[in-house]
Chain A
Amino acid sequence: QVQLVQSGAEVKRPGSSVKVSCKASGVTFRTQPITWVRQAPGQGLEWMGGIIPLFGTANYAQKFQGRVTITTDDSTTTAYMELPSLTFEDTAVYYCVGEVGGPYYFDYWGQGTLVTVSS
């Protein structure tokens, strides 16, 4: 069955970076669109960007363009989301999400990774 398993919670200092991983199984990884969504405490969902491993080029929300980097490793069927220069406003749960049943909707979600930015 389809599974997206993310790396564990992180506590980071302001100005540092975080890299969250998402191990995919039960899918044809190279053609599987992977999206990253974040949710700040008590706030709504925010689409950050996505990638199709076969094409290798990610597209990003305007807000995160030039800041977040989404990559994949075909050999380990793992997707990554890296966010540098962290601020307190980056404290959030980060989800990796798969568009498995078809494009344009998100039917499989990882368990989420809490990133806390704290001094």
Chain B
Amino acid sequence: QSALTQPASVSGSPGQSITISCTGTSSDVGRYNYVSWYQQYPGKAPKLMIFDVTNRPSGVSSRFSGSKSGNTASLTISGLQAEDEAEYYCNSYTSANAYVFGTGTKVTVL
């Protein structure tokens, strides 16, 4: 199972919106609405930001939103803030009754 494909880096200025893509296959992202997104600061455990493609856990800012089209899922961060600078990973359930993470995207706030 190959990792889902994410851009290595995305950057934006404070207040702008950015979108991170996560491309899989018809056996994972394209087949199930079980895509989740995680934020990770250096040296810390990841934190769940989005689950089931579009849902936000309690406590996660509404500036974070998720979507999916075909084999590609996306995470959008609106009103970018300095605290959003982190690594972001997508994850999908797969037809092999397994999970696969994305390659990770470093978000930089300019």
- Residues of A that sit less than 8 Å from B by CB: 35, 37, 44-47, 50, 59-63, 95, 101-102, 104-107, 109-112
Contact = CB atoms under 8 A, between A and B. Distances in A.
B43 to A, nearest CB: 9
Contacts of A62: 1, 96, 98
Contacts, number: 64
Interface stretch (B18-26, B44-52, B78-86): B44-52
B103 interface: yes
B93 interface: yes
Interface string B11-48: 00000000000000000000010101010100001111
Interface of B: 1, 3, 32, 34, 36, 38, 40, 45-48, 51-52, 57, 89, 91, 93, 96-104
Contacts of B103: 44
Given A44-B3, A44-B89, A59-B98, A102 B51 contact: yes
A47 B91 contact: yes
19 contacts: A35-B99, A44-B89, A45-B38, A45-B46, A45-B101, A50-B99, A59-B97, A60-B98, A62-B1, A62-B98, A63-B1, A101-B51, A101-B57, A102-B52, A105-B48, A105-B91, A106-B36, A107-B57, A109-B46
B89 A45 contact: yes
Contacts of A59: 97-98
A44 B101 contact: yes
B52 A104 contact: yes
A47 B96 contact: no
